[in-house]
Amino acid sequence: MNNPHHLNPTSLKSRFTTRFLRALTKIRAQKPISSSSPTEIFRRYRRIKVAADKSMAYSVRSRRIWSRAMLWKLRSRSYRRQDPCSGRRSGKTNQAIMKKSSNGNITRRREDGVGFVEEADELRQLVPGGETMNLCNLLDETAHYIKCLTTQVQVMKKIADFYSF
Amino acid sequence: MSGRRSGSGVSSISDDQITHLVSKLQQLIPELCARRSHKASASKVLQETCDYIRNLHKEVEDLSDRLSQLLASIDTDNDQAAIVRSLLM
């Protein structure tokens, strides 16, 4: 799997890299870069950050609870910008995510851990879709989410270093 | 150690399962990997996990910031192959 001579084209890393580079090109083409007002710089920063999350979420697709939650969040953001009356659609999708993830354990605050309910709740705030997950799913999703985050950071660092010279 | 918890009725998650998932998580956190094979408490692992995720989020933000300043020099059509190759190292 870790063949040093070929970048596996189907690996998460390469899927993310391709998407993210494409998004960067689009962002660059959108507005003239000469403008350096603080608002412009902030807008560019926001677009890049969203592009990074979007690229990662689309690379994982709907295989994970966290990626589904992130995709839903990203889509409802753009829906809201175009059409302010789409609230109902978002609500329906949220229920769908909850159904898929709850495993029949509906009560979130059950005592299924030994004294780390607070830490688990804190974690739920950090992992997309965490609020709907039982402890088992939360731990499993977190592990995958961390792997994806580290890939994201690694690739973004390489791109930034590459263009720093 | 029994997997059943009293008072919660349905308990379909066993302690063993939780322990296994927590130790799997522990291996991903650099802070906790440094320790030998000594198992950190679940509470500690979750705490460190939260800190680690927050750090990663911050790194993504900083890198987005850096990239936004470099954006003018990014011409990815020609360079994409080179970037992809350099990512292998």
Looking at the complex, report in whole angstroms how far the Cα of residue A64 sits from the nearest Cα belonging to chain B: 16
Q: What is the mean pLDDT of residues A128-155?
A: 95
Domain count, chain B: 1
Model's pTM, two decimal places? 0.78
SS3 for chain A is CCCCCCCCCCCHHHHHHHHHHHHHHHHHHHCCCCCCCHHHHHHHHHHHHHHHHHHHHHHHCCCCHHHHHHHHHHHHHHHHHHCCCCHHHHHHHHHHHHHHHHCCCCCCCCCCCCCCHHHHHHHHHHCCCHHHCCHHHHHHHHHHHHHHHHHHHHHHHHHHHHCCC
- The predicted pLDDT at position A35 comes to 62
For chain B, say whether A127 makes contact (Cβ under 8 Å).
Answer: yes
- Smallest CA–CA distance from A21 into chain B, residue: B76
Q: Evaluate whether residue B9 is within a structural domain.
A: no
pLDDT tens by residue, A52-75 = 999 999 999 999 999 999 999 998
B60: containing domain: 15-88
- The predicted pLDDT at position B10 comes to 46
- The predicted pLDDT at position B49 comes to 95
Of A18, A140, A163, the CB nearest to B70: A163
Q: Evaluate whether residue A4 is within a structural domain.
A: no
Domain count, chain A: 1
Q: Evaluate whether residue A21 is within a structural domain.
A: yes
pLDDT at A157 over 80: yes
pLDDT tens by residue, B7-61 = 444 456 688 888 899 989 999 998 877 665 567 788 999 999 999 999 999 999 9
A62: containing domain: 12-85+96-163
For chain B, say whether A90 makes contact (Cβ under 8 Å).
Answer: no
pLDDT tens by residue, B43-52 = 999 999 999 9
pLDDT at A81 over 60: yes
- The predicted pLDDT at position A32 comes to 65
Mean confidence (pLDDT) of chain A: 79
- Smallest CA–CA distance from B69 into chain A, residue: A41
pLDDT at A33 over 80: no
Q: Evaluate whether residue B7 is within a structural domain.
A: no
Q: Evaluate whether residue A91 is within a structural domain.
A: no
- The predicted pLDDT at position A106 comes to 41
Looking at the complex, report in whole angstroms how far the Cα of residue B34 sits from the nearest Cα belonging to chain A: 18
- Smallest CA–CA distance from A9 into chain B, residue: B84
